[in-house]
Structure 1
Amino acid sequence: MDKRDMRRANLDMLRRVLMDLGQATKPQLAEASGFSVVTVNALLKTLVEAGEAEAVEAAALPGEAGGRPARQFAFCRNRKLALLLYMLEEQGRDKLVLAVENLLGEIIWQQEVFPPEITAEVLLAHLQQAREQFPGISRVLLGVPGVDVAGRMMIIDYPRLQGIALRERLSEALALPVHICNDINAAVTGYGQQWQQAEQETVIGIYWPHGYPPGAGILLKGRLYEGKDGIAGEIGFRYANPAPYREGDFKESAAAEILRLVRYWNPHQVVFYREGLTEAALAEIMAACREELPAVLLPEVRLGASFQQDYAAGLRQIGRNLLLKE
């Protein structure tokens, strides 16, 4: 590693320490990073000049009775912002949630909307309003119940979005990069943040809303697997005509899907999201699975506590990663 690479690595280390602490003095940064105060001083100057850090109101150190208080520096958390917009169904109504996230992953603004119909024009109108309110937005991330393939919405629950170049259309209108993430992919990403063994295991999330075929998200050792075209986990294809999904067949269908996922992916754990699904009903589904495969081959299957909560958490992680990579 040459001097330039070493300095870049040190700068990245100090940046992450300052992000973790939020605000600190130079001695505190030196202690947390393991660098000398002289090194911290040089690196901090670079961060300040780049607009990534700023000097803030001085505060006396603990135990100091007088004298000049130590100068503190803060990470400029709102220097870049990500605009998140995700779509879901709530009590039979389509819902949009918009949120603005900063570099620390904090949500600094949020709004919920129940539009009569979800179209590209409706999405653009809400995104434009948020962007006008927060000029620091540099990325847009959409969470959708579908998949963008080769630039077009190939799979989507909303008819007016089917087949259109949604990402391109919104990106041109907003003059910002727009990214699209499938809803269950985001949810299983959010769930993986809470599961300590996620980085060593295979975790699959199944989202099965009432009246719709299911979708699945695959987390391999903590990393989302989407496949060549982003359609990995699109198990709902099986319920296309001439064999549409029937709500009355849910338990049998759910057992069949779990068995297929076991044979394809052999996961350690499956998290199942479905409104109203009880532990008793899930036990019946697993009993049906054990009729086909030995219990030792079956994964641990859990009920997801909140699809919306994990969905939002996953998008926040993905949005923050996009900001940090700029």
Structure 2
Amino acid sequence: MPPPGSLERLRVANRRAITGLLAAEGPMSRADLTRASGLSRTTVSSLVGALIASGQVRETAGRGRPHKGGSGRPPVLVALSTPAGGVAGVDVGHRHVRVAVADRGGTVLAEDLAELDVDAHGAEALDRAAAMVRTLLDRAGVPRADLHAVGMCVPAPLDRRSARISTGIMPGWRHLRPARELARRLGVPVHADNDANLGALAELHHGVARGVADLVYLKVASGLGAGIVLGGRLHRGVSGIAGELGHVQVGEDGLVCRCGNRGCLETVVAAPRLIDLLAPAYDEELTTERVLELDDAGDPGVRRVLDDAGRTVGRAVADLCNSLNPEAVVVGGSLGTAPSLVSGVRHAVDRYAQPDTAAAVRVVPGALGDRAEVVGAVALAIARVAAA
């Protein structure tokens, strides 16, 4: 038998899994919780009973639908109790900070976006994020003393052991622990994770991947990364940097990457690189938004470049699919809605993945667009509060 301390840690982790699902998904039946968490029916029933007894979870008046449209009795749904106060989500991108304040049921009450050079100015970005949180709390009518936690995403690998950004991708953050620094500014717990991980979490619970247990969330923006969900849970790896697809080497003599290597996939297909490729052929200043408009309008140059980029990314994604056999690849980030890019990924997966693997996986654009990361950050904050 494992020691008592190990059993208690396991029970805490299982409780966190249940409350995290309810925080992100809303009311669920015990059977749905069993399927989504991968825990046994007996374990889920025991955990839900204890959470109801403690007041953290309640049974709702509404009823759910039988699994797969069956004709059985509608199941009882359970939901997180919604106490007073709120949480915040902070999405730190390479060129922006987006903040949302929400109630503890996940309803966003106020949201704002600021453009700034985040990579080179870590302390200033954290100052701005803290100020935005305080302003939005006032705007939403949530007393600052009632802010319970903040979820935060960063656009780089975050080492779980040191709590620091683990490469030189963001030079202005080299000596900072992002969660600790923002917590010091706000006076509440801050929980940080990689942006692609939180994008995956958001699409899993609020977007196109609802009900999918195994998926890869691919973020294509100013950088390139992947969030991996296995068995309904984020897979972060031993040090928290699983899914760094953008730093797969595609050419030994390629361009120098922000991470210090040469020929990384990100140097070929990230949004700034694609805009640089397109710019000489257009007599206007191109932005990511304008590239998306031209793709929708059928512009042949834009479609060719985005399709080529999708095929290049898809070659690496195909290898990942062969290893993980996911049900879905969700393409997100600022370029994730581009049909030509998504189509290119699909074609590459069909060509390079093992045939049965390719046939089993859907390749779809994300539903949440550039809000996926802040939605995931809010969900992370709620889940950590509920599990505390």
Q: Taking structure 2 as the reference length, what is the TM-score of the superposition? A: 0.59
Structure 2 partner of 1:107: 108
**In 1, Cα distance between equivalents of 2:48 and 2:262:** 60
Tell me: CA distance 1:197–1:130, structure 2 relative to 1, closer, same or farther (3 Å): closer
Aligned partner letter, 2:227: G
Structure 1 partner of 2:93: 88
1:127 to 122, 125, 130: 130
Q: CA deviation at 1:321?
A: 0.9
**In 1, Cα distance between equivalents of 2:344 and 2:176:** 41
Tell me: CA distance 1:151–1:112, structure 2 relative to 1, closer, same or farther (3 Å): same
Structure 2 partner of 1:224: 234
Structure 1 partner of 2:355: 295
Aligned partner letter, 1:148: L
RMSD of equivalent CA atoms? 3.4
Matches within 5 A, 1:1-326: 8-12=50-54, 15-17=57-59, 77-79=83-85, 81-88=86-93, 94-117=95-118, 118-128=121-131, 130-131=133-134, 133=138, 134-149=144-159, 150-155=162-167, 157-193=169-205, 194=207, 195-198=209-212, 201-210=213-222, 212=223, 214-239=224-249, 240=257, 241-244=261-264, 245-247=267-269, 250-273=309-332, 275=335, 278-298=338-358, 299-326=361-388
Tell me: CA distance 1:277–1:125, structure 2 relative to 1, closer, same or farther (3 Å): closer
Aligned partner letter, 1:271: V
Percentage of identical aligned residues? 19
**In 2, Cα distance between equivalents of 1:151 and 1:6:** 32
Tell me: CA distance 1:296–1:171, structure 2 relative to 1, closer, same or farther (3 Å): same
Contact 1:19 1:104 (8 Å CA) reproduced: no
Structure with bigger helix share is: 2
3-state secondary structure, aligned to 1:207? strand
Q: CA deviation at 1:225?
A: 1.2
**In 2, Cα distance between equivalents of 1:142 and 1:263:** 31
Structure 2 partner of 1:39: none
Aligned partner letter, 2:370: Q
Structure 2 partner of 1:49: none
**In 1, Cα distance between equivalents of 2:247 and 2:377:** 24
3-state secondary structure, aligned to 2:145? coil
**In 1, Cα distance between equivalents of 2:88 and 2:109:** 10
Tell me: CA distance 1:147–1:163, structure 2 relative to 1, closer, same or farther (3 Å): farther
Tell me: CA distance 1:166–1:282, structure 2 relative to 1, closer, same or farther (3 Å): closer
3-state secondary structure, aligned to 1:148? coil
Q: Taking structure 1 as the reference length, what is the TM-score of the superposition? A: 0.69
**In 1, Cα distance between equivalents of 2:192 and 2:364:** 27
Matched pairs, number: 264
Consecutive unaligned residues of structure 2, counting only runs of 5 or more, are: 1-46, 64-74, 139-143, 250-256, 270-276, 278-307
- Larger RCO (alpha carbons 8 Å, 6+ apart): 2
**In 2, Cα distance between equivalents of 1:234 and 1:142:** 18
Contact 2:89 2:375 (8 Å CA) reproduced: no
Aligned partner letter, 2:314: A
Aligned partner letter, 2:93: L
Contact 2:178 2:192 (8 Å CA) reproduced: no
Aligned partner letter, 1:246: V
3-state secondary structure, aligned to 1:250? helix
Tell me: CA distance 1:260–1:17, structure 2 relative to 1, closer, same or farther (3 Å): same
Task: Report the structure number with the largest CA radius of gyration.
Answer: 1
3-state secondary structure, aligned to 1:108? strand
Tell me: CA distance 1:10–1:161, structure 2 relative to 1, closer, same or farther (3 Å): closer
